[in-house]
Amino acid sequence: MPVDASSRIEAVYADVLRRNPGESEFHQAVHEVLHSLEPVLRKRPEYAEAKLVERLVEPERQVLFRVPWTDDAGEVHVNRGFRVQFSSALGPYKGGLRFVPDLGLGTVKFLAFEQIFKNALTGLGIGAGKGGADFDPKGRSDAEVMRFCQSFMTELYRHLGDHTDVPAGDINVGGREIGYLFGQYKRLTNRFEAGVLTGKGTGWGGSHARTEATGYGTVHFVREMLASRGEDLAGRRVVLSGSGNVSLFAIEKAQELGAQVIACSDSSGYLVDEAGLDLDLLKEIKLERRGRLDTYAEARTGARFSTQGSVYDVACDIALPCATQNELTEQHAVVLVKNGVKAVAEGANMPCTPYAVEVLREAGVLYGPGKAANAGGVATSALEMQQNAARDSWPFEQAEGRLAAVMRDIHTQCVAAAEEFGTPDDYVLGANAAGFLRVADAMRDQGVV
């Protein structure tokens, strides 16, 4: 009996809503993927018959735990930690940890679900997970952050291992936090298991180009999208949201490829510099002083800082949302299209709302979804794992060369899958279908587990 793909997808989604109440971001991520998979299931009904989709939307394991710690004044605080281990079909669970005060299980689950397809697209042997805590390191001393990280790892370590689960950094979890987490893992296990965390310092097992990888990778993906239409980045006006690591290194790579990057943002507002952003000044303010963008405008003639409107109000050829989920709304997309945007690529996880994506695609704008466009970070994390396994360290040029090759391959996979399933230039369907096929084939091979 032939599979009714549409009815099967509707039934799976209804079950997701029932079993995961109130987790709107997870619902959004699942809905996008399931919608993309209808033509796949029609063409390959054996995947539906094996209930692969039903199994794929349910995490293999969800870990929630208490994180008690003391501040510098001796006061006790209690936070909540999370790790969602979603899929190990292709390798050990892999995905970042973020420390943000409003983090909840639904957000972690959505991020881990997206990671399944992103990690599969890299072509490397990594599964999918995500985690973190509802802790805000901003304003905390190094000693407080260290004590929090040690308490967090004291619970999480039993679920990790270089063949089990390999976290990395994410929002508010950088080199400092990874160092504290690794130190506590080593202390608890009595093992220098370098491959258990990625994003480490380059002097003790980290990979060159890891800090730059997500931002660089996003720009590499944009370059491939433009090349598919016989265009390039030279002379293009670019705006970005955010001004953290992803944005800063996206700016660096875009400028290197000849683009004119004119605007970025932070939580206080957005900055416009029509002469092109001074990256050295921006890095000094953000990475060294940990300051706000209004400081840049005060220091540079011709630059302006605004707390009104949005960075997406600035006319541009290319927009790179690199901050957080659902930041680019339908209204922003309408303005971007009106101002002539040619391409939008996600440097963050699901920063465009579904209605924004619809506006962009209907206008013929090239749109690179995060699971493809920002896969450079996790790809380089997997390459760090390779180096750790061999007790090797590659020079920066080799690491970046591998990153560029992975991003080209991801673009090729997306284009090929979109064409195979009847929607050329649809990078959303292409990314979801290509990632799904790789995971689904592994799941079939491994039986009902």
287 domain residue, yes or no: yes
Long-range contacts of residues 271-276, Cβ cutoff 8 Å, at least 24 apart: 271/243, 271/296, 271/297, 271/303, 271/304, 271/305, 272/303, 272/304, 272/305, 272/306, 272/314, 273/300, 273/302, 273/303, 273/304, 274/302, 275/302, 275/303
Distances (CA, A) of 420 to 43, 99, 367, 376: 10, 40, 19, 25
Same domain, 313 and 258: yes
Residues 55 and 136: beta-carbon distance below 8 Å: no
Same domain, 44 and 79: no
Side-by-side strand order, sheet with 93-99: 61-70, 76-87, 128-133, 93-99, 165-169
255 domain residue, yes or no: yes
Same domain, 11 and 107: no
87 domain residue, yes or no: yes
What domain range is 125 assigned to? 61-192
Same domain, 268 and 132: no
| Structure tokens given for 276 | 């092109």
Side-by-side strand order, sheet with 260-266: 304-306, 269-272, 260-266, 237-240, 318-320, 343-345, 366-368
Among candidates 289, 292, 329, which has minimal Cα distance to 312?
Answer: 329
DSSP state of 352: B
408 domain residue, yes or no: no
146 domain residue, yes or no: yes
Same domain, 182 and 290: no
Catalytic residue flag (residue 371): no
| Structure tokens given for 359 | 């506006």
Cα–Cα dist 131/165, whole Å: 11
Residues 322 and 241: beta-carbon distance below 8 Å: yes
Cα–Cα dist 218/222, whole Å: 6
Of 320, 353, 373, the one marking the end of a domain is 373
Helix axis angle for 5-19 and 24-43, nearest 10°, is: 160
What phi-psi label fits residue 340: left (phi over 0), alpha (psi between -120 and 50 degrees) or beta?
left
Same domain, 33 and 79: no
Of 373, 397, 420, the one marking the end of a domain is 373
Same domain, 230 and 346: yes
Catalytic residue among 130, 200, 286, 371: 130
104 domain residue, yes or no: yes
Beta strands in 71-222 (DSSP E): 76-87, 93-99, 128-133, 165-169
| Structure tokens given for 176 | 């400092």
* CATH number of 306's domain: 3.40.50.720
Among all chains, which residue has been given the structure tokens 């794929």? Answer: 56
What phi-psi label fits residue 292: left (phi over 0), alpha (psi between -120 and 50 degrees) or beta?
beta
Confidence at residue 4, expressed as pLDDT on a 0 to 100 scale: 87
Residues 166 and 97: beta-carbon distance below 8 Å: no
Same domain, 49 and 65: no
Confidence at residue 3, expressed as pLDDT on a 0 to 100 scale: 63
Same domain, 37 and 154: no
Residues 36 and 428: beta-carbon distance below 8 Å: yes
Element (H, E) at 272: strand 269-272
Mean pLDDT for each consecutive 10-residue tract of the chain (449 residues)? 79 97 96 95 93 96 98 98 98 97 96 97 97 95 98 98 96 94 98 97 95 96 97 97 95 98 96 97 92 94 96 98 95 98 96 96 96 96 96 96 97 97 93 97 96
397 domain residue, yes or no: no
Same domain, 158 and 225: no
* CATH number of 157's domain: 3.40.50.10860
Confidence at residue 1, expressed as pLDDT on a 0 to 100 scale: 40
SS3 438: helix
Sort strands 76-87 and 61-70 into parallel, antiparallel or unpaired.
Answer: antiparallel
Cα–Cα dist 276/262, whole Å: 5
Same domain, 49 and 100: no
Contacts of 419 (CB under 8 A, 6+ apart): none
Cα–Cα dist 256/266, whole Å: 23
Among all chains, which residue has been given the structure tokens 């990632």? Answer: 435
Sort strands 269-272 and 260-266 into parallel, antiparallel or unpaired.
Answer: antiparallel
Long-range contacts of residues 12-21, Cβ cutoff 8 Å, at least 24 apart: 12/53, 12/54, 12/57, 15/54, 16/57, 19/58, 20/106, 20/109
149 domain residue, yes or no: yes
Among all chains, which residue has been given the structure tokens 């506006």? Answer: 359
Of 159, 192, 225, the one marking the end of a domain is 192
- CA–chain centroid gap for 212, Å, is 13
Same domain, 217 and 361: yes
Number of domains in the chain: 3
Among candidates 82, 106, 102, 251, which has minimal Cα distance to 167?
Answer: 82
